[in-house]
Amino acid sequence: MNKDSKPHDGGSTTRAQFATRLGVIATTVGSAVGLGNIWRFPYEAGSHGGGAFMLCYVFFIFIIGIPVICAEFIMGRGTHSNIIGAYRKLAPGKPWYWAGYMGILASILILSFYSVVAGWTLEYFIQSVSGNLDLGSTAAFHDRFESFASSNYRPALFALLFLAVNYLILRRGVTAGIERMSNILMPVLFLLLLIFCINSLMMPGADEGLRFLFKPDFSAITPTVLLGAMGQAFFSLSLGLGCMATYASYFNHRTQLARSATLTASLDTLVAVLAGVMIFPAVFTFGFSPSAGPTLVFEVLPSILHSLPGGIVWSSLFFFLLILASLTSTISMSEISIAFIIEEKKMDRRKATALNTCVAMVLATLCALSFGCLSGMTIFGMTLFNLFDYLSSNILLPLGGMVCSFFVGWIADRAFVRSQLTNGGTLRLRAMRVIIFCIRWIAPVCIAIVFLNSIGFIN
């Protein structure tokens, strides 16, 4: 953000702006790239048939993801408001702003289980640095993770520690430091992923791993796979809850919305694919089960890292960068409710941040314990951790995305939408008609079909 302008100083009319074009891309990609790519994508793909999931995921990214990012960008940059304020400004007196509240609920649920996984990363970083992750056998990695995740206090403690760091960064309202750091370090994460991919491609299980990930079995495309892939596309792009709209409210009038949306989606997808290429050859080489669920990556990763010479250094660096990538994502999801509380409830930034963190800390503790003493507490057959994940990613985000694209496509003023896409008519955007068509028709209709299909309404 521009150093000269203070973000949300409690009622001030000057809002912060991202200073450069690189700043815009770095922050939106920073939000999108995180545990969703490296932890969630491989385990979702693994438990939904690999290639079939991958195909649906990439399809949804381009056919729904990019238009919905554009829709969120239009709302945010066009109103310079938090998500609820944006709905209110564009449709005064109408109840559309309820979609904004749904987004805030989703952001809190995600923050809660996300910080548990970030806490696992923190634990693994500490274990790496102290040389304790060097276990040798596949079974040992599995047992180590099981006993850690199900222990009663460590996972909760690390989740709380992570939330405390998130709080300290957000409280100052100046995320410039972390943004600058991530601008420099994210390319390093990317480079590491590439190196690990090459290493995985030389493993004996590489062929089987690549076949699993890239060769779709069309008969495996079921309603559950479609819903899972759509949920993953939304989760990975930080979409459907107002995060991209909130960030776009800090864009300036020169930011090219459609181009930024396409670049963000492409880079995010590239990172997810690389994570898949890194994980699956190792899954088959070391004899893990691809459908192990949320714990998959934390069992497989140490095996990959330790198959490299100088494993301790690689794994310490990797887990450190993963923590940073998680922070740039949690900062963005926290900003949705913080911007709302500051602007609509007129609270100062510190109090708003504290409120957001306190709620997340309570829920995160429950999520962390759902691998241990609360594992027997299930709702609809899911532990709290799984329930929060399923409810937000597979239901709330796509629903939020559907409302947002419908709203921008049909309710918001047409001239306003065009003017946002073309920066007041100064840009010649050849794809404008296609984008508007996707926002009005393709995205809402596709999301509705996947929903109806998953509840057995359409077959």
| 121 binding ligand PFF? (CB under 6 A) | no
Q: Which of 35, 108, 312, 342 binds ligand PFF (CB under 6 A)?
A: 35
Told to check if 119 binds ligand PFF by CB under 6 A, we report: no
294 lies in the site for ligand PFF, by CB under 6 A: no
| Position 241 contacts ligand PFF (CB under 6 A) | yes
Per CB under 6 A, the list member of 200, 260, 329, 370 interacting with ligand PFF is 329
- Residue 183 interacting with ligand PFF (CB under 6 A): no
Q: How far is CA 216 from CA 206, 266, 430, in A?
A: 17, 21, 33
Residue 37 or 166 with smaller CB distance to ligand PFF:
37
| Residue 187 identity (one-letter amino acid) | P
Nearest distance in Å: CB 379, ligand PFF: 22
Residues 82, 182, 236, 454: which binds ligand PFF (CB under 6 A)? 236
Identify any residues that bridge with 2 across adjacent strands, giving them in sequence order: none
Q: In 10 A of CB 445, how many CB atoms? A: 14
Helix (H) or strand (E) holding 311: helix 311-345
- Tokens of residue 57, six digits: 């995921």
Backbone angles phi, psi at 152, to 5 degrees: -85, -25
State the SS3 of 416-459: HHHHHHCCCCCCCCCCHHHHHHHHHHHHHHHHHHHHHHHCCCCC
* Minimum separation from the CB atom of position 392 to ligand PFF (A): 8
Nearest-angstrom CA–CA distance, 8 and 22 = 22
315 binds ligand PFF (CB under 6 A): no
110 touches ligand PFF by CB under 6 A? yes
Give the contacts of 39 (CB within 8 A, at least 6 positions apart). 117, 294, 297, 298
Cβ-based neighbours of 27, under 8 Å, separated by 6 or more: 18, 179, 247, 328, 332
User: Interface with ligand PFF by CB under 6 A: which range of 237-245, 351-359, 370-378, 425-433?
Assistant: 237-245
- Alpha-carbon distance of 255 to 239, in angstroms, equals 19
Among 163, 243, 282, 342, contact with ligand PFF (rule: CB under 6 A): 243
Cα–Cα dist 348/11, whole Å: 9
Say whether residue 235 binds ligand PFF (CB under 6 A): yes
| 246: contact with ligand PFF by CB under 6 A | no
Among 17, 31, 175, 260, binds ligand PFF (CB under 6 A): 31
Does position 331 interact with ligand PFF (CB under 6 A)? The reply is: no
Single out the residue of 34, 42, 276, 311 in contact with ligand PFF (rule: CB under 6 A): 34
Residue choice 23, 30, 36, 398 for contact with ligand PFF (CB under 6 A): 36
Q: Which stretch binds ligand PFF (CB under 6 A): 26-34, 145-153, 250-258, 448-456?
A: 26-34
Residues that bind ligand PFF (CB under 6 A): 31-32, 34-37, 107, 110, 235-236, 238, 241, 243, 329, 332-333
